[in-house]
Structure 1
Amino acid sequence: MIVYKNTRDWFRESLVTPILAGTILGLWLLTAYWTIFQVDLSGLPLVALALLIGLRTFLHTGLFILAHDAMHGTLNPASPRLNAIGGQIFLGLYSFLSYPYFLARHQQHHRTPAQADDPDFYEGSFWEWYLSFMLAYVWGRQGIGIFWGMSAVFYPLVFFYHAPMLNLVCFWLLPQLLSSLQLFYFGTYRPHRRPGQGYVNEHRAVSSQASTLGSFLSCYHFDYHWEHHQYPHLPWYRLPSAHH
Structure 2
Amino acid sequence: MRSHATQGSWGVLIALAVLGAWLGHLVWLLVGAELSLASPLTYLHVALQAWLCTGLFITGHDAMHGTVSRHRWVNQAVGTLACFLFAGLSYRRLVVNHRAHHTDPTGPDDPDFSTRTQSFWPWFATFMRRYTTWPQILVMAAKFNLLLFLGVAQWRILVFWVLPAMLGTVQLFYFGTFVPHRRPDTPDMAPHHARSLPPNHLWALLSCFFFGYHWEHHQSPSTPWWRLWRMRDARARAEALTPGQEPAARL
Normalising by structure 1, we get a TM-score of 0.88
What letter matches 1:36 in structure 2?
L
Which residue pairs with 1:23 in the alignment? 17
What letter matches 2:16 in structure 1?
G
The correspondence for 1:185, drawn from 168, 174, 177, is: 174
The answer to whether structure 1 residue 129 and structure 2 residue 126 are counterparts is: no
Q: Per the alignment, in what secondary structure is the counterpart of residue 106 of structure 2?
A: coil
Which residue pairs with 1:169 in the alignment? 158
What letter matches 2:82 in structure 1?
F
- Displacement of 1:214 after TM fit? 1.1
Give, in whole Å, the separation in 2 of the partners of 1:133 and 1:223: 18
Which residue pairs with 1:62 in the alignment? 55
Large movers: runs of 4+ above 3 Å: 40-44, 196-200
Which residue pairs with 1:233 in the alignment? 222
Give, in whole Å, the separation in 2 of the partners of 1:223 and 1:200: 13
Q: Aligned residues, how many?
A: 229
- Displacement of 1:39 after TM fit? 2.7
- Displacement of 1:204 after TM fit? 0.4
- Displacement of 1:2 after TM fit? 4.6
User: Is the 2:35–2:41 contact (alpha carbons within 8 Å) kept by the matching residues of 1?
Assistant: no
Which residue pairs with 2:46 in the alignment? 53
**Higher-helix-fraction structure:** 1
- Give the RMSD, CA atoms, in angstroms: 1.7
Where structure 2 has 5 or more consecutive residues not aligned to the other structure, the ranges are 234-251
Give, in whole Å, the separation in 2 of the partners of 1:237 and 1:156: 34
- C-alpha spacing 1:134/1:199, structure 2 compared with 1 (3 Å): farther
Which residue pairs with 2:144 in the alignment? 154
- Displacement of 1:242 after TM fit? 0.5
The correspondence for 1:207, drawn from 175, 180, 196, is: 196
- C-alpha spacing 1:145/1:48, structure 2 compared with 1 (3 Å): same
Give, in whole Å, the separation in 2 of the partners of 1:196 and 1:225: 14
The correspondence for 1:82, drawn from 74, 77, 83, is: 74
CA deviations on 1:183-209 (whole Å, 9 max, x unpaired) are: 000000000000275785110010001
Where structure 1 has 5 or more consecutive residues not aligned to the other structure, the ranges are 4-9
Which residue pairs with 2:247 in the alignment? none
Normalising by structure 2, we get a TM-score of 0.86
Q: Per the alignment, in what secondary structure is the counterpart of residue 67 of structure 2?
A: coil
Identical-residue share of aligned pairs (%):
38
Which residue pairs with 2:104 in the alignment? 112
User: Is the 2:36–2:42 contact (alpha carbons within 8 Å) kept by the matching residues of 1?
Assistant: no
Give, in whole Å, the separation in 2 of the partners of 1:211 and 1:183: 18
